[in-house]
């Protein structure tokens, strides 16, 4: 490796990106809450659908990031370029297909989530407009993954900052109306998101030319090149399957929550938004760890990779637990940003105290799963974790929340049990060096490809 940036130099731009994205989502939820708790519930349910389909793009972006870091670590710049070009064509077809499914299937998807009729009326036009932004996100996700893999997280962060700035400037007038512009409600938030994604795509193209000396050809946008995509899918498919299993389990739990009533659904939405802040540090740390571990594995430095992951895990456990504790203590005040209902505030505060218990287990998942994927050990997380997510998270949500009548507390207890079970399994996999054979095989594959 020609250069080995410090972990913090990679992590802080990623954290800034995540904070910016969360801030925009938080503003959208706040604007929706000013309309009604029903609008907040519709906003949250639609975003869960959006996030679930967005995971399909992780098949490409996740695999591209890992494969390019490994190629660059081994000095195979030509292989990294081939992978980047192949990602564009795959993203085109995946984004187009996903957008069409969400647009035409908005109402059935909301019905599948057991959304009340009042929530469906507000959520359907919002979700259909989100389909356009979703199609554009396919390109932006893969192009930003290429930039980060080339150790250019700051440039990506500035592009994300620009996208969110455009989104923020447009979402308020489009949602509430301004001059001749009619008030579009939740659909205005989604339309502003789509425009911001177009801006982000244009900037990504400029960054590829400027920083990577990589100009996409016309054929790159629609051609599926299976040879360079094969190692991408080897990493991306298991990784996406793990994420899809998580989202399916989460959607099942959301169906349970929706069946409890609109107030409970709104409570869950508000508590989840605060919980999302807590996890941002662990996610940024996990992505940074994945990028650096990929470079180290490509260069054949397995001992350094092992030390790095242990360091990331220690930092993640300490910081995320402190953030979770702070969020729980301040919940009675922060939740007033969304609602003045004392019952909702009290219930959401209880859920955030459960998050203090949940967070260490989730940190192990986020950090170690990303590291395992970077070594090439991509199948273990999905094989080990899918059963827990579907049985403990999804099944436990129904069992504790409905059967034992624990409501939202039971649902979040199921979340905590699942995170801890999977976290302990992933930590044991890394600490017992179960990833080493996959790392050695990855290094050999890259060396052979470089010699061809």
pLDDT at 143: 95
Per DSSP, 3 falls in state -
| Residues in CB range of 402: below 8 A, 6 or more apart | 256, 259, 410
Above pLDDT 70, what percent of the chain? Answer: 98
Give the model's pLDDT for residue 446.
Answer: 84
Residue 383 has a CB neighbour count (10 Å cut-off) of 11
Question: How far is it, in rounded angstroms, from Cα 187 to Cα 175?
Answer: 7
CA distance linking residue 94 with residue 365, whole number of Å? 27
pLDDT beyond 70 at 4: no
- Residue 452 is predicted with a pLDDT of 60
Whole-angstrom Cα distance, residue 79 to residue 37?
51
What digits encode the pLDDT tens for the residues 13-38? 888 888 888 778 778 878 787 777 78
Instruction: Give the pLDDT of residue 328.
Output: 93
Q: How far is CA 69 from CA 271, 398, 400, in A?
A: 36, 41, 43
Tell me what the mean pLDDT of segment 60-69 comes to: 90
96: its two tokens: 């187009």
Between 153-157, 178-182, 234-238, the lowest mean confidence (pLDDT) is in 178-182
Q: pLDDT (tens digit, 9 = 90+) per residue, 283-293?
A: 999 999 999 99
Alpha-carbon span 373 to 98, nearest angstrom: 25
pLDDT at site 187: 85
Q: pLDDT, tens digit, for every residue of 293-315?
A: 999 998 899 999 999 999 999 99
Strand partners, 178: 181
Residue 380 φ/ψ, nearest 5 degrees: -60, -45
* 435 vs 233: CA distance, rounded Å: 19
Digit-coded pLDDT (tens) for 377-389: 988 888 888 889 9
- Bridge partners of residue 181, in order along the sequence: 178
Helix-strand-coil percent breakdown of the chain, rounded to 5? 90, 0, 10
Give the Cα-Cα-Cα angle 69, 243, 18 (nearest 5 degrees).
Answer: 65
Kindly give the residue spans of alpha helices, DSSP state H, lying in 114-152. Answer: 117-149
DSSP secondary structure, 172-209, as one string:
HHHHH-BTTBPP-THHHHHHHHHHHHHHHHHHHHHHHH
Q: What is the pLDDT of residues 104-149, one digit of tens each?
A: 998 998 888 777 888 888 888 889 989 999 889 999 999 999 999 9
Confidence of residue 3 (pLDDT cuts 50, 70, 90): low
Alpha helix segments (H runs only) across 36-116: 37-54, 58-73, 77-104, 106-112
Give buried/exposed letters for 42-77 (b at 16+ CB in 10 A, else e): bbbbbbbbbebbbbbbbbbbbbbbbbbbbbbbbebe
208 in Cβ contact with 64 (< 8 Å):
no
Q: Is pLDDT at 1 greater than 50 in this prediction?
A: no
Among the residue ranges 24-28, 98-102, 224-228, 303-307, the one predicted with the least confidence is 24-28
Percent of the chain with pLDDT over 90: 49
Q: How far, in Å, CA of 7 to CA of 289, rounded?
A: 7
Encode pLDDT of 270-280 as tens digits.
888 788 888 88
Cα-Cα-Cα-Cα dihedral sign, residues 337, 338, 342, 345: negative
Mean pLDDT of the chain: 88
**In the prediction, which pLDDT does 5 show?**
61
**pLDDT value at position 350?**
94
- For 68, what's the count of Cα atoms within 13 Å in the CB-facing half-sphere? 27
What's the whole-model pTM score?
0.81
Q: What is the pLDDT of residues 310-332, one digit of tens each?
A: 999 999 999 999 999 999 999 99
Of residues 227, 407, 363, 302, the one with CA closest to residue 70: 302
Answer whether residue 79 shows pLDDT above 50: yes
The backbone torsions φ and ψ at residue 358, rounded to the nearest 5 degrees and listed phi first, read -75, -35
**Considering only CA atoms, which of 243, 130, 142 is closest in space to residue 200?**
142
From the CB of residue 217, how many other CB atoms can be counted at a distance below 10 Å? 9
Query: Sign of torsion, CA 333 339 343 349?
Result: negative
Residue 2, pLDDT > 90, answer: no
Instruction: Kindly state the average pLDDT of the residues 69-85.
Output: 90
**412-441 average pLDDT score:** 94
Classify residue 396 by its DSSP letter: H
Could you read off the pLDDT of 136-147 as tens digits, one per residue? 999 999 999 999
Q: Which residues contact 59 (CB under 8 A, 6 or more apart)?
A: 94, 233, 236, 237, 239, 240
CB 32 within 8 A of CB 39: yes
Is 267 a residue whose pLDDT tops 70?
yes
**CB-based burial, 103-122: b 16+ in 10 Å, e otherwise:** bebbeebbeebbbbeebbeb
Would you tell me how many other CB atoms lie within 10 Å of the CB of residue 295? 27
Q: Would you give the DSSP letter of residue 212? A: S
């Amino acid at each position: 490796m020609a250069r080995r940036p410090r972990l913090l130099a990679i992590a802080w731009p990623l954290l800034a990106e995540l904070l910016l994205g969360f801030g925009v989502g938080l503003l959208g939820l706040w604007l929706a809450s000013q309309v009604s708790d029903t609008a907040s519930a519709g906003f949250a349910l639609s975003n869960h659908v959006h996030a679930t389909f967005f995971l399909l793009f992780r098949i490409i972006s996740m695999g591209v990031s890992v494969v390019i870091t490994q190629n660059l670590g081994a000095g195979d710049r030509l292989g990294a370029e081939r992978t980047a070009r192949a990602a564009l064509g795959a993203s085109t077809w995946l984004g187009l297909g996903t957008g069409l499914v969400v647009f035409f299937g908005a109402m059935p998807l909301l019905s599948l989530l057991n959304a009340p009729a009042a929530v469906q009326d507000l959520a359907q036009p919002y979700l259909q407009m989100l389909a356009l932004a979703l199609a554009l996100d396919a390109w932006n996700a893969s192009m930003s993954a290429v930039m980060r893999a080339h150790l250019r997280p700051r440039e990506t962060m500035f592009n994300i900052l620009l996208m969110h700035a455009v989104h923020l400037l447009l979402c308020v007038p489009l949602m509430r109306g301004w001059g001749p512009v009619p008030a579009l409600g939740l659909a205005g938030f989604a339309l502003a998101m789509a425009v911001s994604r177009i801006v982000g795509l244009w900037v990504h193209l400029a960054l590829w030319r400027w920083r990577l000396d990589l100009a996409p050809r016309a054929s790159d946008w629609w051609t599926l090149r299976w040879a360079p995509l094969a190692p991408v899918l080897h990493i991306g498919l298991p990784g996406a399957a793990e994420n899809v299993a998580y989202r399916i389990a989460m959607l099942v739990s959301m169906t349970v929550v929706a069946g409890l009533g609109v107030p409970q659904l709104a409570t869950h939405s508000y508590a989840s938004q605060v919980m999302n802040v807590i996890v941002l540090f662990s996610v940024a740390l996990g992505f940074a760890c994945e990028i650096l571990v990929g470079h180290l594995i490509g260069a054949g430095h397995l001992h350094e990779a092992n030390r790095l992951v242990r360091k990331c895990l220690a930092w993640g456990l300490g910081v995320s637990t402190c953030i979770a504790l702070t969020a729980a203590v301040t919940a009675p005040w922060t939740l007033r940003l969304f609602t003045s209902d004392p019952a909702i505030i009290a219930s959401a505060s209880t859920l955030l105290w459960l998050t203090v218990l949940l967070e260490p287990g989730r940190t192990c998942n986020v950090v170690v799963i990303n590291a395992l994927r970077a070594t090439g050990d991509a199948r273990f997380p999905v094989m080990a974790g899918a059963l827990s997510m579907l049985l403990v998270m999804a099944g436990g949500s129904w069992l504790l929340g409905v059967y034992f009548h624990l409501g939202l507390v039971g649902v979040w207890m199921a979340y905590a049990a699942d995170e801890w079970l999977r976290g302990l399994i992933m930590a044991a996999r890394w600490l017992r060096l179960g990833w080493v054979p996959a790392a050695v095989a990855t290094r050999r594959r890259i060396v052979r490809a470089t010699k061809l």
